Chain A
Amino acid sequence: MLNGLVKWARGKSPWVCHLNCGSCNGCDIEIVAALMPRFDLERFGVLLEGSPRHADVLMTTGPVTRQIRDRVIRVYDQVAEPKFVVAVGTCGVSGAPFYPGYNVLGGVDSVIPVDMYVPGCPARPDAIAYGVLKLLGTLDPKADALVKEIESRRDTTGLVYTPSEMAEMRQANETSLGQTAARS
């Protein structure tokens, strides 16, 4: 029964911890903008929490720099189970355009596992809100119903990617890159 309660509470009010891994601030301000009156992520119970120990969702922005790598792992370890990671911004997906710099290791998933990718440079607040909601949909049936409703109302193609979709896309990319290389 307690487990059910915890799951219900988590789905109703996920606490988000924002972690800047070397971002340019573009996505960071869009995350804050998503919590503002216009987009108001807080109406879904999302709360921005300072301490990773109290958070359910780790929202990372930017590529992982060599300096921050160990700190990212440490912060990730501090988040209580079950934990979710949302990589916000194209940098968080692949490290571009800073990759391959001498101090940049690439996307966030090169260091910690990622549960939802929100690409964009910077990612739009509505895409961030949709990504968080989609993540909630896996926990809470009501959030899932909301996601379905959003999908029926507007085109959500390319707004967010799940890890399996991202893997598929990368595979397709590599194949096409291989074909281009073979042609030239």
Chain B
Amino acid sequence: MAKLDFPVGPQHPALKEPENLRFSVDGELVVDADIRIGYVHRSIERSCSERNFVQDLYLCERVCGICSNAHTQNYCQAVEAIAGVEIPERAQWIRMIMHEFERIHSHLLWLGVAGHEIGFESLFMYVWRDREVIQDILEMVSGNRGHYAMTMLGGVRYDIAPEMVTKIREGLAFLRQRAEYYADIATSEQTFLERTSGVGVVSGETCVQLGAVGPVLRASGVAFDVRRTFPYLQYDKVEFPVRTSELCDVLGRTLVRVQEVIDACDICTQCLDMMPEGDVNMRFPRKVPEGEAVARIEAQRGEVIYYVRSNGTDVPERVKIRTPTLANLPASLEMVKGGYIADIPIAFASIDPCFSCADRMVELNDVSSGDSRTMTWAELVKLSRRKS
């Protein structure tokens, strides 16, 4: 039978974000898949080198509306490393708590979307109802439901007051119990198992070769978690397991994420217990000394890498962002290949794609020839016009 090519997107009911996917199908089977991204490219990296370090904090936060805290935290870690600043200990614990709160909110969001993609609408509604609990906690702590602006250079903006702690503990206990219930659903509900088991299979070896990160990698049996491998903040002091699954399919990714919600609740509780009293922020110099730094953290979707280079002024020379979705995209294309057309949405959604994160400009240079170049503003505008 002849192959049929069909495009999906940029605006499509199954896609929450603009991206263009091309599939080659042979009957019901997907033979080949390709992706074109760049619709959400907002020239963030370039804008970063035109604004000062404090302004960049807010710009980096808006790389993504779901893992916004991970981005600011990572950026702050890189800048603080260049400046050689050690932030107060209480601030480190609060950063960890925010980090885990965000993991809970993002994984629950993903679970709801996964339910929607497989047509399990009641799961979608239930999960999103429970997600409001963590949204309320986030709003109570930071003052906003998204883009918390909690992390700042030299610490965190707000302290967690004692009366908040009681509410947080109550909320976490509730969420932990709900997450256990969802883990039970994911392993016992026939509707869920039929749609997720054996769908979007990608082996651990392929994942490593394609550079996949986060839950996608862990669900293929590779125990890699930046929090454990390269501990940052106070992660070496808390206890948590690195969740893996040998299933390599959508079910495995679901289980890893749901179990991480349970773990995140436990980490938050440990943080609240171990958090010392003290200052939550400190004065941070406006000008950052010359130097460069790379910071890596385990965001909910995987490893985020920030590279910041400073030239001694208050404006960074270069900010480079590597997001987990960009790393997971090649693996996601492998997942849909060989599967059914009807499984494309859930297989693709199983990497928890976020194209506002992924739309960075990547240019491949041949390192051996020593070829590298810097693009000017005019060249960037020209390229942007040509690509649109």
The CA of A121 and the CA of B64, in the complex, are separated in Å by 12
Q: Is A124 an interface residue (CB 8 A)?
A: yes
Binds B, one of A32-40, A132-140, A146-154, A166-174: A32-40
**By the criterion CB–CB under 8 Å, are B39 and A24 in contact?**
no
Q: Which residues does chain A contribute within 8 Å of B380, judged by CB atoms?
A: 102-103
**By the criterion CB–CB under 8 Å, are A104 and B42 in contact?**
yes
Binds B, one of A4-12, A62-70, A107-115, A176-184: A62-70
Interface residues on A, range: 35 or more
Q: Which residues does chain A contribute within 8 Å of B63, judged by CB atoms?
A: 24
Q: Is B59 an interface residue (CB 8 A)?
A: yes
The CA of A75 and the CA of B10, in the complex, are separated in Å by 10
Q: Give per-residue flags for B96-136: 1 if the beta carbon is below 8 A from chain A beta carbons, else 0.
A: 00000000000001000000000000000100110110010
**By the criterion CB–CB under 8 Å, are A51 and B42 in contact?**
no
Nearest B residue to A121, CB-CB = B147
**By the criterion CB–CB under 8 Å, are A65 and B147 in contact?**
no
Q: Is B356 an interface residue (CB 8 A)?
A: yes
Q: Is A92 an interface residue (CB 8 A)?
A: no
Q: Interface centre among A24, A37, A65, A75, by most B CB within 10 Å?
A: A24
**By the criterion CB–CB under 8 Å, are B11 and A26 in contact?**
no
Q: Is B309 an interface residue (CB 8 A)?
A: no
| Known A36-B125, A50-B13: A25·B145 in contact at CB below 8 Å | no
Q: Is A122 an interface residue (CB 8 A)?
A: yes
**By the criterion CB–CB under 8 Å, are B356 and A23 in contact?**
yes
Name B65's contact: one of A25, A49, A69, A75 (CB within 8 Å). Answer: A25
Q: Which residues does chain B contribute within 8 Å of A49, judged by CB atoms?
A: 13
Name A101's contact: one of B11, B16, B17, B46 (CB within 8 Å). Answer: B46
**By the criterion CB–CB under 8 Å, are B146 and A29 in contact?**
yes
| Known A52-B11, A124-B145: A102·B377 in contact at CB below 8 Å | yes
Q: Which residues does chain B contribute within 8 Å of A66, judged by CB atoms?
A: 384-385, 388
Q: Which residues does chain A contribute within 8 Å of B43, judged by CB atoms?
A: 98, 101-104
Name A37's contact: one of B11, B62, B128, B144 (CB within 8 Å). Answer: B128
**Interface members, chain B 37-56 (any A CB < 8 Å):** 38-44, 46-47
**By the criterion CB–CB under 8 Å, are B356 and A101 in contact?**
no
Interface residues on B, range: 35 or more
**By the criterion CB–CB under 8 Å, are A122 and B65 in contact?**
yes
The CA of A68 and the CA of B19, in the complex, are separated in Å by 10
Name B147's contact: one of A18, A36, A67, A122 (CB within 8 Å). Answer: A122
Q: Which residues does chain B contribute within 8 Å of A71, judged by CB atoms?
A: 10-11, 18, 39
Q: Give per-residue flags for A80-105: 1 if the beta carbon is below 8 A from chain B beta carbons, else 0.
A: 00000000000000000110011110
Q: Which residues does chain B contribute within 8 Å of A131, judged by CB atoms?
A: none
The CA of A37 and the CA of B377, in the complex, are separated in Å by 46
Nearest A residue to B124, CB-CB = A36
Q: How many A-B residue pairs have CB under 8 A?
A: 132
Q: Is A30 an interface residue (CB 8 A)?
A: yes
Q: Which residues does chain A contribute within 8 Å of B384, judged by CB atoms?
A: 66-67, 102-103
| Known A50-B12, A67-B387: A23·B128 in contact at CB below 8 Å | no
**Interface members, chain A 7-61 (any B CB < 8 Å):** 18-30, 32-33, 36-38, 49-52
The CA of A136 and the CA of B381, in the complex, are separated in Å by 40
Q: Which residues does chain B contribute within 8 Å of A52, judged by CB atoms?
A: 11
The CA of A68 and the CA of B388, in the complex, are separated in Å by 8
Query: What distance in Å separates the Cβ of B46 from its nearest Cβ neighbour in chain A?
Result: 6
Q: Give per-residue flags for B57-73: 1 if the beta carbon is below 8 A from chain A beta carbons, else 0.
A: 01100111110100000
**By the criterion CB–CB under 8 Å, are B65 and A97 in contact?**
no
The CA of A36 and the CA of B108, in the complex, are separated in Å by 14
Q: Which residues does chain A contribute within 8 Å of B17, judged by CB atoms?
A: 20, 23, 25, 28
**By the criterion CB–CB under 8 Å, are A25 and B46 in contact?**
no
**By the criterion CB–CB under 8 Å, are B388 and A22 in contact?**
no
The CA of A104 and the CA of B381, in the complex, are separated in Å by 10
Q: Interface centre among A22, A75, A102, A124, by most B CB within 10 Å?
A: A102
Q: List 16 A-B contacts (CB under 8 A).
A: A20-B16, A25-B16, A25-B64, A25-B66, A26-B62, A33-B128, A36-B129, A63-B42, A67-B39, A67-B388, A68-B10, A101-B46, A102-B377, A102-B381, A103-B384, A122-B146
Task: List 4 tightest A-B contacts by C-beta distance, closest first.
Answer: A50-B13, A26-B65, A101-B43, A25-B65
